[in-house]
Amino acid sequence: MVRLSLAFALLLLLGGCAERWVRPGTTEAQADATLDACQDKAAVAVQPLMVWQIVDPGGYVRERRCWISHSGREVCGFTDRWRPPRYGWVDANTGAREAWRRGCMRSQGFTFDGYRPLRLFGDGDGGAPQPVDAPRP
């Protein structure tokens, strides 16, 4: 359960960030539109290749179980339980598709400049487009 919670939290953190691609004189909106177009082209150029593989390895899981004894005291014990591996369908072409998309952006003169945080409430400037090579606050 802890693994699942951590994975979900990580997904939220990473999913909330967008790639930042820069090219002199290009606004962030234009860069995002180009990125969307490159993603669409990459999806057509590199089709999904679904393979059945282990998505969560098996292993022993230590469980703690507690109960109240006849004398009214709490007693706890530990047991090791085998958890079998889980299998699922995974797209084996994800890496190739991402490489194709990055190559598309580079071929149009963009360079990768890290990730920007998710903007939930706007950036406070009334939505005016800003060049992506403008200094960051």
Least confident of 17-21, 25-29, 131-135: 131-135
Residue 69 makes CB contacts below 8 A (sequence gap 6+) with 75
User: Are 47 and 94 in contact, with CB atoms under 8 Å apart?
Assistant: no
Domain boundaries, the chain: 16-48+92-121+133-137, 50-89
The angle that helices 28-45 and 94-107 make with each other, rounded to 10 degrees, is 130
- Number of CB atoms found within 10 A of residue 98's CB: 13
Query: Which pLDDT score, from 0 to 100, does residue 65 have?
Result: 93
Distance of CA 45 to the CA centre of its chain: 22
Query: Which pLDDT score, from 0 to 100, does residue 116 have?
Result: 84
> How many residues in total does the chain contain?
137
Query: Which pLDDT score, from 0 to 100, does residue 118 have?
Result: 72
Q: List pLDDT tens digits, range 84-122.
A: 999 999 999 999 999 999 999 999 999 999 998 876 665
Name which residue leads in pLDDT, 1 or 81.
81
CB hemisphere CA count around 5 (13 angstroms)? 2
Q: List pLDDT tens digits, range 25-77.
A: 999 999 999 999 999 999 999 999 999 999 999 999 999 999 999 999 999 99
